[in-house]
Amino acid sequence: MKSQKLKAVIEGMLFLAGEEGLNVRQIAEVTEQPVDVVQIAIDELQADLKKARRGIQIIHIAGCYQLSTLPAHAVYYKRLADSPSRSSLSQAALETLSIIAYRQPITRVEIEEIRGVKSDRALYTLVNKDLIQEVGRAEAIGRPILYGTTKSFLNYFGLSGLRELPDASQFETEGDLEEETQLLFNRLEEQTYGEDLPELAELGEELLEAVEEAGVQGFELPESLRDIAEHGHSDEGAAREEDIADPAPNENRRDDKGSE
């Protein structure tokens, strides 16, 4: 394998590994390259990122390499995390939240087994938004953290308790994650229907983009939220407003029928 390709592969592997990182031997086994060749490639990749003044770096912690942001940019990441424009949940975060809501208490490993992808970032987002919290430790090797929902989660979805979660009794298999997530979409729509339409439109657009990027088949937004995302209003809501604002046409139609 050529040096440039090897470095690109290693960069991608470290990205997928997240905060757990990878050691040299793990990378060597996957790439089928000698350990010394892999070490040289990592050293060169570190130097390349630093020379190009990239926003990420490769760090070495506890025998493993992992991608990391630069400490000098921390202030900007804090602003991003606190930005009001990031108040809506991404597809990944909502998907992770639906698993926790219906199957709590649950560990990160169990969540990832259901989703089929790493969920570190989604969990980090949900913890920061105070939608989930640590509720204990599992009786297993390493005593992994058990996650559950918070009071803020109930407020976010307008629930008085977990008993009011949309019924998911018919979706008890791991393959029905999409249905469970759809139920939370529907609940979120009910909670936010009366809010400002421009904000709903932005939320709907983000959800549509997330679903499209995820390549989910047969997954649709609730009809009224889809109307808002596509047209800036809900057809159902607009019809109700017209009936309230101008009842005269209905009266005229009744008069016409009477005269006939």
Indicate which CATH number applies to the domain containing 229: 1.10.10.10
Last residue of a domain, one of 15, 40, 72: 72
Q: Which of 49, 72, 95 corresponds to the end of one domain?
A: 72
Angstrom distance (rounded) from CA 40 to CA 38? 5
State pLDDT tens for residues 189-233.
565 544 444 555 555 566 666 656 656 555 555 555 555 555 544
Six-digit token pair at 39?
């070490």
In a domain, 248, yes or no: no
In total, how many domains does the chain have?
2
**Does 257 fall in a domain?**
no
Same domain, 60 and 179: no
Q: Are residues 51 and 140 in the same domain?
A: no
Query: Which residues have a Cβ under 8 Å from the Cβ of 230 and sit 6 or more positions away?
Result: 204
Residues 140, 217, single domain; the answer is yes
Measured CA to CA, the distance from residue 115 to residue 112 in angstroms comes to 5
Domain of residue 50 covers: 3-72
65 & 99 share domain: no
| pLDDT value for 251 | 44
C-alpha distances in angstroms, 209 versus 124, 127, 199, 216, 221?
A: 22, 24, 16, 11, 11
- In this structure, the answer to whether residues 93 and 178 fall within a common structural domain is yes
pLDDT category of residue 256 using cuts at 50, 70 and 90: very low
Residue at token pair 């297993």: 140
Distance CA 114, CA 156 (A): 24
> Binning pLDDT at 50, 70 and 90, where does residue 107 land?
very high
Nearest alpha carbon to residue 182 among 216, 219, 152: 219
Question: Is 115 a domain residue?
Answer: yes
Q: What is the mean pLDDT of residues 125-143?
A: 90
DSSP letter assigned to residue 168: -
Specify the higher pLDDT residue, 241 or 88.
88
| Mean of pLDDT over the chain | 76
CA atoms within 13 A on the CB side of 90: 13
- Structural domain includes residue 42: yes
Decide if 255 is inside a domain.
Answer: no
Domain co-membership, 191 together with 88: yes
In this prediction, residues 48-71 reach a mean pLDDT of: 91
38 in a structural domain: yes
- Provide mean pLDDT across the span 86-104: 83
In-domain check, residue 15: yes
Domain final residue, candidates 72, 96, 123:
72
Cα separation, 26 vs 31, whole angstroms: 9
Same domain, 31 and 96: no
Task: Give the integer Cα–Cα distance in Å for 153 and 168.
Answer: 18
